[in-house]
Chains A and B, each alone.
Chain A
Amino acid sequence: MPSKFSYQPCREFNVVVLGAGGVGKSCLTAQFVYNEWIESYDPTIEDSYRTQKSVDGRQVVLEILDTAGTEQFVAMRDLYMKTGHGFLLVFSICSKASFEELETLRDDIIRIKDDENIPIVIVGNKADLEEQRAVDRAKAFSVSRGWGAPYYEASARTRTNVDEAFIDLCRQMLRRDDTHDDLHDDPSSQRAEDATKRHRRRKRKDRCTIL
């Protein structure tokens, strides 16, 4: 019980889910944020895509930005990418084209974030449809190694590896957050703001222990 009461600052991250239309990325998102306590899912409210998770004992608030439905608004992708702290690149193991598209997406992300090491996780969705597989696992893994981004084969339908993929991304973001905390060279105002917020929090925490 006492462990419950240890206070930890909540970290907030924006996770952007990207991928071609029809790869089922919205299913992944819905699965991940879906609250089993709620009988019906209403995506029109403010925290429809917000969720809090515990990652290695640390509380993380995630806001999932999913372009689902607006893939045709190509120009908006830039906006989504700019907002993200971590990226889930989703393809369908049944569609080679959706896999090849990831490279463009990654290039865009790196260009927009101006950062080679931005946290990315690659997800091969529809893993339950093994018989329709069009993308070799080996190939996916080799791309994963090349990019230094973990690869998960997931299935939103059977809820396999959904949480794992997101949690992995959280770990990356947390690790990065810890090492980058003192650096203020990030051009993104959001991150800078976050950093100062964190600083303030940390100071506060120090004071708390003194009290």
Chain B
Amino acid sequence: MLNQQDMRASLQVAPLTIQKTRTGTRGGPSERTESTSRCSDTQMTPPATPNRLQEDRNASLKNAPVFYNFLRAIYPFQLDHGASDASVTLPLDEGDVILVHSIHTNGWADGTLLANSARGWLPTNYCEPYEPEEMRSLLKALLNFWDLMRSPSINDSEMFGNQEFMKGIIAGVRYLLERTQCLAKDALPLQRHEGLRRSRRALLAELSSLVRTAKRLQNAQRMIGTDVNDIVDEMILKAFEITTKGVRFLDVWEDDRRSRVAPAVTVMNTLLEETYVLLTPPADSAVFDAIQAHPVDVGARANANGNASDRSPSAAGEVAPDLIRHSNRLSSGRQQSTNVRRLSQNSLVQANRFSSSISHRLSLAGPSCSSQPCNLVSERLNTCHDTFLSHLGSFIGRLQLQSQSRPSLAVAIRQSATSGGELLLVVDVVCAHTSISLDALEQARDTMYNRIQDLVHTARDILTNPEPEMEEDVIVPHDNGRLLWAATGCVKATGECVAKTRWVIERIGDFEFEFENGGLGIDFGLSGFAIPDDKTEAPAAELTSIAEYPMSEAPTDSTAVSVTSSADTHARSLSIDKPLPEIPRANSPVSGRPALRASHRSPHSQPCPIDNSASSVVSSVSSLRPDLPPLPKISTSSLPAENYSPTDQSAMQDTDFRAFRSESMTASSSGSASTYLSRDSESSLMSQTSTRATTPEMTQAPKNQPSLSNLSTTDSLAPTDDDEVESKLLAKTYAHELMFNSEGQVIGGSLPALVERLTTHESTPDAVFVSTFYLTFRLFCTPVTLTEALIDRFEYVGEAAHIAAPVRLRTYNVFKGWLESHWRDETDREALALIKEFAEFKLTAVLPTAGSRLLDLANKVSSIDGTLVPRLVSSMGKTGTSTFVPAETSLPAPAISRSQANALANWKLGGSSPSILDFDPLEIARQLTIKQMALFCAVTPEELLGSKWTKLGGVGAPNVKAMSTFTTGLTNLVVDTILQFEEVKKRATAIKYWIKVANQCSQLHNYDALMAITCALSNTSIQRLKMTWDFVPVKRKEMLKSLQEAVDIRQNFKTLRSKLQNQVTPCLPFLGMYLTDLTFVDVGNPATKTSDTGLTVVNFDKHTRTARIIGELQRFQIPYRLAELPDLQAWLTAQIDRVREKENAGSNAQATHYRKSLLLEPRETQQLRTPIEGPSSAASSSMFSWIRSNTGVSAQV
């Protein structure tokens, strides 16, 4: 407990640069301390020297804050009182590479040293950004790896089940070797340079060791009781080690290269170069090996450094000899404690794995963070956001359950507003903290502020104006709606605001800030409403004043600081050169002598790290909780569903989601009808279809292993087995040209990389990916380029003997799937010759049976109309959530009387047409549904790509066009039937009739017809018939109202979407909604993305979205089981055609209808509008405006 107290206090205490001097003057316990403090006295304290050199960069950093993920130490750094605050500063050697998590404004960075994965604070002025071109891919991969490994949101077994996650690191190493022309073992530079050869071997050994660990992890997944986290830790350490080795390799390489070029480098560079060299073999190879053997043996490493710096002064000249000596002394003297410290910190890596970070840069529950309120602004932001959302969430939840009492409403609002105010304060801090333009953030902040006030106002309104007829302390449902709206508005605005704030924090780097508790929050309080300008101004001013102390404005005479008052300390330590961010174990922030305390406490410092790690486990566990509710979803999903389904929303969504997943899996198991049931059809693409090919060579492939990973079967591989490692790890790959999102889905990639993904040898490719690829590849490449890419893949994989067989088989399977089920002859024909050639020669040479089979297919494909094997993509939904109706179930009996049937028969023979009002609305709805569903089922995925239905009058999308024509025809038929009657009462009857039909359509979940009919009934020509509507019973009007709400176009079809989400088939959705979605996915997302390495790649995310929408549509392509009445169908079609023909003559149906409507019920004079509307001539011209429109252009298509 005491320790926790200390920590909290220390968080608020100013860092202690100055105390060093004090320690010295107080007569520090040892000679060593004395000397270092003197050293710092004369040297302007260690940071001062680099500070001067770095001033330019600091200035530029301030102007354009760029966050570097990796830094490299250019000076050694060691604190003299290092042992006293074990968990804080990170000793650096020159050349150390650090993964940065956040940077405090004072210039200290929270980072993890790759060499030993120790974490702590380090001075950025001792470092420079590290991102050499050669290493970029590996560094990026390390970042991803780190994020992935520590992400709690990813299903472990899913992630580790295949070895996908390993690819980035491997590709990164490969990229490094490729760039340095050291890929081949006998490459020239390697032959030349022994050291280079060695460090390359070390790098590869480390890589193969990681691969083995990954494999172990995969196995551990299957066994219960193994601690996966231990292995994950080990893997992170190994990944760090790989990167360290990579850095070293690059250094040696650079050095080698430079030694060939004339050495024209500055003094400064020489220093760096010299020290680098000294860190690495050949001279120190013994030490080097020792490090390798004991990755965490820091002592040895420190020694190595000692040697290095011992020699450096002579070589480096007089730039900073004292500095180096200083560090030298320290590193040898403090070895022991350093070692202990680092070891203890390793456990944190594990603890951190549980933390729910959005980005590793933001919300790390690092050693300095505990479950107490934390100073790191991102932490604070998250905490406040979580609190606010939980208040709002519970508030919304209660609202939806029942009416609540007034007092509880007041309490809930108060809580929400208070926590919202705290959150706003954090946002303001961030705003004040940065100078970059923040318009968007400020706007979001204002929105959030306004929304919270809206909520408070609404609540207050309700509290102060009780509805008179209601019971006194119950909030009526109507008010609930308003509150709900206001509250969800808050949630939404808050989400946006927080997202933007995070973005800003990421840009400027995380920083600490001291938040005072209570009182300062922006007050939305129910009683004191006066806008709290005065209250917030105070902290705001304080913020700016603090933020105005940039690190570079340090007074030059900072060495002479001697502390007299704590206030002074505080102020100066913020402004003075790089105040040390260690956390002194002082009990209170006003302590005048923190340094003294720190040194007093040094004997007890060893347990501290353990405590720290323990508490950080606590904090990370607790921070898991807020991660659980998908925050932005609150407003979108739970709200609409509440209105319609009393059942548990999340459960429903869950099943639906799963169903969709399994469907798409099914869909992608292209080709074989026998595979449609396999939920784990992972293997079906590969094994099932290929068994049909009955290739004898199949026996070569280890087909009994679901993951064909040769990479992962390296158990037998001895680490010394370099050759084998190399051939396996360094096979040509495009993996670095793929981009993933945080869920591990492919969101971008070059064509070769996508093809590689499609034919991956480890595990089967992701089902969604495969079906998306087949469906959309013509949008980002031509059939010919795809063929070429596949053939290229087939060839280059030959270089890697161990994976060639499975990859080639998969390549064949991709071709086969394409020809069998996804062939579109009109566009794909051009690739046919190429495919045939490939099948005949290249493929046959390796896999004779497959070759002849493919050739056979290629010959067949152009001669047969349609696909060879029924495409399962379009049958996605057929096995899914559909309520399976056995065929024997009798169809519902048609609701048609004998006389009606006779009338139809009579009409067919040329007799008079019956009136639609004669038929049962139920039967009309059924027949419409059958008709429309037939059209809907005919819609193919290809029609929906690339906005084809809008182009060239929709010739490329005949079924979409037929569908929209029918829907529009139905609308016009409805209007026509109503307007055909002269008598008011008959018109009212017609309206009533169509409302009933619409209702039946709604019962049948035929939203397309529902849309058409409600469209007609709310058409201006119908709506304006006031006399007619007076004859429509209130009951029917109410019914119509609720029907209209179901297909309301506002809020992006919110109601309809939520209905469809949980809808079981059969159901006919409104096609237009999908068409709009597809259009906007198409125009709203660019065709390409820029990858981290600056490469322009296919924006696969866009295509995945497209495929997802099409898949959703296909889910509903399941016919109704209803009896078709051919006579009635024919009659209905004839009616629709009759109306259409009538309109074709008059060109604008709307205008025709309106004219007719005016004739039936002429405008009343008093209906003429407002006085503002101008002279009556204008009004009359508007009245007859439809005449003009008749002569105008034809209706848009």
Contact = CB atoms under 8 A, between A and B. Distances in A.
Contact of B450 (A59, A68, A107): A59
Contacts of B1049: 65, 76, 79-80, 83
Nearest to B747: A40
B440 A36 contact: yes
A116 B500 contact: no
B1077 interface: yes
A73 B492 contact: no
Interface string B992-1015: 000000000000000000011001
B1169 A14 contact: no
Residue of B451, B947, B1174 with most partner-chain A CB within 10 A: B947
Given A46-B1052, A54-B443, 10 more contacts: A21-B1197, A30-B1083, A37-B440, A41-B1081, A73-B1072, A75-B972, A78-B1150, A101-B1193, A104-B1195, A107-B1192
A21 B950 contact: yes
A70 B1077 CA distance: 10
Given A104-B1148, A116-B1182, A44 B1079 contact: no
B461 interface: yes
Contact of A115 (B522, B537, B1149, B1173): B1173
A77 B714 CA distance: 64
Interface in B1155-1197: 1169-1170, 1172-1174, 1178-1179, 1182, 1185-1186, 1188-1189, 1192-1193, 1195-1197
13 contacts: A2-B533, A10-B451, A45-B636, A69-B1072, A70-B964, A72-B961, A73-B967, A74-B1196, A75-B1012, A75-B1150, A114-B1169, A204-B460, A208-B457
Contacts of A27: 1083
Contact of B1169 (A49, A59, A185, A200): A185
Contacts of B445: 4
B154 interface: no
A103 B1188 contact: yes
A37 B428 CA distance: 19
Interface string A1-12: 110111110100
B545 interface: no
Interface in A71-125: 71-80, 82-83, 97, 100-101, 103-104, 107-108, 110-112, 114-117
B1172 A179 contact: yes
B454 to A, nearest CB: 7
Interface string B536-560: 1100100000000000000000000
Interface in B521-576: 522, 528-533, 536-537, 540
Nearest to A176: B1172
Contacts of B950: 21-22, 69, 71-72
A41 B1084 contact: yes
A49 B1057 CA distance: 15
B1079 A69 contact: yes
A65 B1051 CA distance: 9
A52 interface: yes
Contacts of B971: 75
Contacts of B528: 211
B492 A47 contact: yes
A88 to B, nearest CB: 15
Contact of B1102 (A40, A48, A117): A40
Contacts of A68: 1076, 1079-1080, 1083
A116 B154 CA distance: 57
Interface stretch (B364-372, B607-615, B1016-1024): B1016-1024
A111 B1185 contact: yes
Interface string B1039-1054: 0000000000111101
Interface of B: 428, 440, 442-443, 445-447, 449-451, 453-454, 457, 460-461, 492, 496, 499-500, 503, 522, 528-533, 536-537, 540, 635-636, 747, 947, 949-951, 954, 960-961, 964-965, 967-968, 971-972, 1011-1012, 1015-1016, 1018-1020, 1049-1052, 1054, 1057, 1072, 1075-1081, 1083-1085, 1101-1102, 1105, 1109, 1148-1151, 1154, 1169-1170, 1172-1174, 1178-1179, 1182, 1185-1186, 1188-1189, 1192-1193, 1195-1197
A66 interface: yes
Residue of B951, B1016, B1083 with most partner-chain A CB within 10 A: B1083
Contacts of A7: 450, 453, 531
A153 interface: no
Q: Is the interface of B mostly helix, strand, loop or mixed?
A: helix
A10 B450 contact: yes
Interface string A167-194: 0000000000001100101000000000
Interface of A: 1-2, 4-8, 10, 14, 20-22, 24, 26-27, 29-30, 34, 36-37, 40-50, 52, 54, 59, 63, 65-80, 82-83, 97, 100-101, 103-104, 107-108, 110-112, 114-117, 179-180, 183, 185, 200-201, 204, 208, 211
B581 to A, nearest CB: 29
Residue of A2, A71, A100 with most partner-chain B CB within 10 A: A71
Nearest to A156: B1083
Contacts of A45: 636, 1052
A135 to B, nearest CB: 14
Given A5-B531, A59-B450, A79-B1049, A101 B1196 contact: yes
B1186 A111 contact: yes
Contacts of B447: 52, 59
Nearest to B1073: A70
Given A52-B443, A59-B446, A72-B961, A115 B636 contact: no
A63 B1054 CA distance: 13
Given A42-B1105, A43-B1077, A101-B1193, A5 B449 contact: yes
A17 to B, nearest CB: 11
A71 B1197 contact: yes
Given A1-B537, A37-B440, A76-B1072, A82 B1020 contact: yes
Contacts of A179: 1172
A69 B1078 contact: yes
A69 to B, nearest CB: 4
Contact of A46 (B636, B1188, B1195): B636
B1172 A117 contact: yes
A59 B1016 CA distance: 35
Contact of A107 (B747, B968, B1174, B1185): B1185
Nearest to B1026: A187
A210 to B, nearest CB: 10
Query: 7 nearest interchain CB pairs?
Result: A41-B1084, A43-B1080, A75-B971, A69-B1079, A72-B964, A69-B1075, A70-B1072
A52 B624 CA distance: 32
Contacts of A41: 1080-1081, 1084-1085
Contact of B968 (A20, A52, A74): A74
A5 B532 contact: yes
Contacts of A4: 442, 445-446, 449
B145 to A, nearest CB: 21
Contacts of A22: 950-951
A18 to B, nearest CB: 9
A43 B1084 contact: yes
A199 to B, nearest CB: 12
Residue of B971, B1052, B1182, B1188 with most partner-chain A CB within 10 A: B1052
B442 A72 contact: no
